Amino acid sequence: MRKIVSLLLPFGMIFALAACGQSAASEKQEEIQSAVQKTDEQSETPQNGAAVEQTEIEMGTEPPESVSTEEQEADVSTKTLVVYFSCTGTTELVAEYITEILGADSYQIVAEDPYTEADLAYYTNGRADQEQNDPNVRPAISSGVENMDEYDTIILGYPIWHGQAPRIISTFLESYDFFGKTIVPFCTSHSSGIGSSASNLHALCSESVEWRDGKRFESGVSKESVQKWIEEIGIE
Ligand SMILES: Cc1cc2nc3c(=O)[nH]c(=O)nc-3n(C[C@H](O)[C@H](O)[C@H](O)COP(=O)(O)O)c2cc1C
């Protein structure tokens, strides 16, 4: 009998261990199944938003924040304002071309005290001559741009007065915060180039302004020529 027991004992132990292992495995299996079921239930009926979010984060399936199409477009679109000063219409015509080509908004700088013909007669020591001789003069502007914050790009046009921009352009530039904006200068003249007239304006604005190279147009320039320039500088 003793012999039989000693012979059967190892088989009994092996059986008992196997049974034990199987029940542990099936317990584990049950645990996993119930966890998966819980996750399924939560995602089907999300009664607890935080729990769903937690599960998504753990599983690395958190959905990206949704951004509407309009928001995406607003992120990439830029808005341009064409600003100009013109006393005899030459700069105004170029500004109108630019405004039409770009479908942009425009703003005319108008002096609070309008310039008369006598004021504009140059080399007579008239009003315009005197203003250009004094870099500190700031002729007043009659009305302003209320929504300057909306614009990313300013295209700024002026006539050349004694090789420089009229002092009223300085008034304009000192009246707003152009932080982070792009300014594209252009001018018209009898014969002078844009010269230092544009670069001398840089010091009037924040250093964060991106100044683009300026362009001089002659009186009677065609709309096609203006369009070519717009395409060259890549403003939309
Ligand atoms: C006070 C004054 C100074 C001027 N100085 C120059 C000059 O230095 N060089 C030049 O080529 N034209 C000069 N002009 C001519 C203007 O630049 C030119 O006529 C311009 O196109 C006028 O633009 P608007 O019609 O938009 O006012 C001057 C005009 C004025 C009134």
Q: Are residues 104 and 169 in the same domain?
A: yes
Per-residue pLDDT for the chain (236 aa), expressed as one digit of tens each?
A: 454 445 455 554 444 444 444 444 444 444 434 433 333 433 333 333 333 344 333 443 444 444 444 544 444 567 999 999 999 999 999 999 999 999 999 999 999 999 999 999 999 999 999 999 999 999 999 999 999 999 999 999 999 999 999 999 999 999 999 999 999 999 999 999 999 999 999 999 999 999 999 999 999 999 999 999 999 999 88
Predicted confidence at residue 29, as pLDDT, reads 44
Q: Are residues 96 and 13 in the same domain?
A: no
Ligand 1 surroundings by CB, under 6 angstroms: 86-92, 120, 122, 128-129, 159-163, 188-192, 219
Nearest residue to 188 via CA among 82, 86, 81, 83: 86
Domain span holding position 20: 2-59
Q: For 197, which DSSP code?
A: T
Q: Are residues 50 and 74 in the same domain?
A: no
Nearest CA to ligand 1 atom 17: 189
SS3 166: coil
C-alpha to C-alpha distance for 61 and 220, rounded to whole angstroms: 62
Predicted confidence at residue 6, as pLDDT, reads 52
Which atom, in ligand 1's list, is nearest to the CA of 157?
Answer: 26
Q: Is residue 64 part of a domain?
A: no
Predicted confidence at residue 67, as pLDDT, reads 43
